Amino acid sequence: MSEEDKQPKLEFDDKETDLKSSLSKVIRALTLTAWGLFILSLVIFHYARPELEWGILRYFDIPVRTFWLISLLTWLKVVLLACVAFSCYAIYLNYQAGANHFRFNLYLLATVSIVFFTLLWV
């Protein structure tokens, strides 16, 4: 008999391992979604902000948009809130799973998104 045959397999351990691996996949999917939303928010920010007024544009009297696009600004706030929600939920699931991974990137993403949203709100 080999070593594996001597030790009885507990079904509870297998279920717990399956639960942790599936929870790890969910956390990974939430993390990727949150980072994708953050990149989307950067793109929306680029198009929503006022255009930069360069000296050459002033010299040739080329008109420049000096105001925020309100519709895109609204979408930017919604996407940032979704980013915060996804990252906080992933942090919560990671804590509940008792994982050994700290996942610093989720804390950083949540903090940066909250600061970005706060600066837009003011």
**pLDDT (tens digit per residue) in 7-28:** 655 555 566 667 678 888 999 9
Are 27 and 94 in contact by the 8 Å Cβ rule? The answer is: yes
CA distance linking residue 65 with residue 74, whole number of Å: 18
What integer pLDDT is reported at residue 43 of this predicted model? 98
Q: How confident is the model at residue 102 (pLDDT cuts 50, 70, 90)?
A: confident
CA angle 112, 117, 119 (to 5 degrees): 95
Are 50 and 68 in contact by the 8 Å Cβ rule? The answer is: yes
CA distance linking residue 66 with residue 102, whole number of Å: 43
Mean local confidence (pLDDT), 67-73: 95
What does the block give as tokens for 100? Answer: 């050994």
CA distance linking residue 80 with residue 76, whole number of Å: 6
pTM as predicted: 0.79
Percent of the chain, pLDDT > 90?
A: 65
What does the block give as tokens for 120? Answer: 């837009």
- Rounded to the nearest angstrom, the gap between the alpha carbon of residue 19 and the centroid of all alpha carbons in its chain is 23
